[in-house]
Amino acid sequence: MALTKPRETSPPSTVVARWQRGFAIRLFMTDLLAVVVAVFGSQVLRFGTRVVELDIPRTKAVEFEITYTALSVVVIVAWMLALEFFATRDHKVIGSGSVEYRRIADATLRVFGLFAIVAFLTQSLVGRGYLLIALPAGLVLLLVSRWAWRQWLNGKRAEGEYLYRALLMGDRMKSQHVAQQIKRDGASGIHIVGAITEHGTTSQDLSPGIPVVAGYADALDAIDRAGVDTVILTGADTIEPRDMRQLGWDLESRSMSLIVAPALTDVAGPRIHARPVAGLPLIHVEYPAFEGRKQVSKRIFDIFGSLALIALSSPIMVAVAIVVKLSSPGPVFYSQERIGLGGVPFPMLKFRSMVHGADDQLKSLLDEQGTSDRPLFKINNDPRITPVGRFIRRYSLDELPQFFNVLRGDMSLVGPRPQREAEVALYDPSAHRRLMMKPGISGLWQVSGRSSLEWDDAIRLDLYYVENWSTVGDIVILWRTIRAVVAPGTGAH
């Protein structure tokens, strides 16, 4: 398979720089609009259109007046500078992951923290309503606008635009692994056009759609011919450090990006820290921790979140309970023993969506389907599900009683999905890491395919969540859960 150069006549690095700059300008304009609307909107809601002066104690040394309009301008400028200082529009974080959202939240909270400190030191009485409206409104508008731009960017990338054209370079097995991981992430924006391996065996593709274009000896010529803007080093024992350094210099002269992919799977950015030692870029990897401050913050999030969701969904739960009771004989609620944190069983609540006594039929149905040896017990076209049960399952209404499991402490709003004891008995050693965290009502694999995912994909996503949990990540998953419930698609059963 021959490589073709991109259609653009400009050098690849110029094309990339052009769309990066254009996209950053779009983000800047919507950021500015969000901040202006939040700040001046809060001023109008708090004080109306009249001119109001800020209450500043006057002394002989300090005699000046400042209106809330002037203060709003200062807040806007400071907010925009903070967004720039925290690199919220950096091309390396936009488009995927939670780093972009986390930086926006950090910049916003620090700006308002700084203003609170200044107001305290100057003994200025800033209207609390003014700040209490501006801060959350601005943060929400910023996050929503960034999310909207991310959907737009992903759409363009699906059409073949706004992409990084990359060559993989390294051992064949390592490059295959990196290629597989990048292909799984449709939002990465990286289009792999080929690979450079040690011997450059062009008769055998690295993987479907990714040809081997050259060996290490002809790497630079292949890079120039391919018309790429990025080279990803996947690891090669036969490339000497001196040659790797020279390659970096050669790519720099061509204005190309160099990415080094360490042999770490499913480890997210917050756990990785670069630590230069004697000129070596060593990578320090933190182990996942689920204790102390993190554990407390997650529990607080679960308590307040479950209370709010119980209050909001209580009319729906009453309606579902009535319909379930009237539609078929049997109890309204269904309690099943599931395995939770540390392998401890607990009763998980659901609205009954199957005929009474459905558990007695499970083993025979799994045997008939030939899947009794897999740890994800699901029946295709399950005959035990009632018509009402099929509806409430499609929109996840049967899961609503689990908010009480969360409030009680058996479960979390977000986490690996709890499974039966028989399923846990089929776990391999790596899958047991799912039990390091409380099980959740929703999780990463539920919002990435729901019932259509195979076990290998489900366990990979669950382990990624366990290894890289964060509060921001939980909020993103909950938001994606709402979208998946409103528009369940074909993956919901």
- Alpha carbon distance 333, 358 (integer Å): 13
Dihedral of the CA atoms 294, 295, 296, 297 (nearest 10)?
A: 50
Was domain 164-263 assigned CATH 3.40.50.150? no
Nearest partner of 234 among 164, 166, 165, 168, judged by Cα: 168
Nearest partner of 105 among 82, 129, 76, 131, judged by Cα: 82
**CA atoms lying within 13 Å on the CB side of residue 353:** 20
- Alpha carbon distance 115, 123 (integer Å): 12
**What pLDDT was estimated at residue 279?**
65
Nearest partner of 380 among 488, 458, 456, 491, judged by Cα: 491
**What pLDDT was estimated at residue 308?**
93
In the chain, CATH 3.40.50.20 sits at: 164-263
Residue 52, token pair as written in the block: 């109001």
Q: At what angle do helices 293-327 and 387-394 cross, to 10 degrees?
A: 150
**What pLDDT was estimated at residue 247?**
87
**What pLDDT was estimated at residue 480?**
83
Residue 185, token pair as written in the block: 């992430």
Tell me 446's DSSP state: G
Could you report the average pLDDT of every consecutive run of 10 residues in the chain (493 residues)? 46 79 92 93 80 58 65 89 92 81 90 78 66 86 93 88 89 87 79 88 85 88 88 82 86 87 65 66 70 84 93 93 88 89 92 76 64 58 80 88 94 91 83 88 78 72 83 84 71 51
**What pLDDT was estimated at residue 4?**
42
